[in-house]
Amino acid sequence: MELTYYGANCVRIVTKKAAITIDDNLSEVGLKSITKPGDIALFTGAHKDPIADVKLFIDLPGEYEVSDTSIQGIAARAHLDESGQAATIFKVIGDDIRVVALGHIYPELNDSQLEAIGIVDVLIIPVGGNGYTLDAIGAAKIIKKIEPKLIIPTHYDDNAVKYEVPQSPLDEVIKVLAIEPKEAEAKIKLKSGELGEITQLQILERQ
């Protein structure tokens, strides 16, 4: 499995049989969309605009099997839920690796959500805060409950990204998480069984 970060909350996952894009809202923040024909497109929030030529489009809870990939959408409360907004946590299993993408959720998970999330190899988690998404404290609380093997932070301050709300710098987030990050990479390739039992923090450079 290969993971690449493209800014905001967008990560692309490539397995032996599938390519999955998560939260490709890049055109809304001044960047270029990276979704390709044949991709599986996942959105952790409601997405009104159609995505042309994708293999599968999902922005709601449910269970799906496609291209030797298991996808489970888990209902969650959105971080900004004043208007009754909902969010979807996605668990993707491919190449025997379990990846969870949280999206902009409220920093409390109940027992049924935690049970559905289960064992996590890779956790993709926004950390920018300032009322828009999880901040470092909320992220740390969730990380402690989920206990992933590898954390990939997203949605932090980046001069190239035109966020609606200013986001916290990554170095401030790292201080709160209190986990020494691995060396930053342009992309990472993972194999089942290679991740250790101690939670690690992996910074992916925006591509």
Domain 2-204 CATH assignment equals 3.60.15.10: yes
Q: What is the pLDDT of residue 101?
A: 98
Q: Which residue type sits at 139?
A: A
Between the two ends of the chain, the Cα-to-Cα distance in Å is 17
Instruction: Dump pLDDT digits (tens) for 55-77.
Output: 999 999 999 999 999 999 999 99
pTM: 0.96
Q: What is the pLDDT of residue 110?
A: 95
Average pLDDT (118-147) is 96
Sequence-distant contacts of 56-62: CB under 8 A, at least 24 apart: 58/88, 58/90, 59/88, 60/88, 61/88
CA distance 121 to 109: 18
Residue 84 has pLDDT above 60, yes or no: no
Instruction: Dump pLDDT digits (tens) for 140-175.
Output: 999 999 999 999 999 999 999 999 999 999 999 999
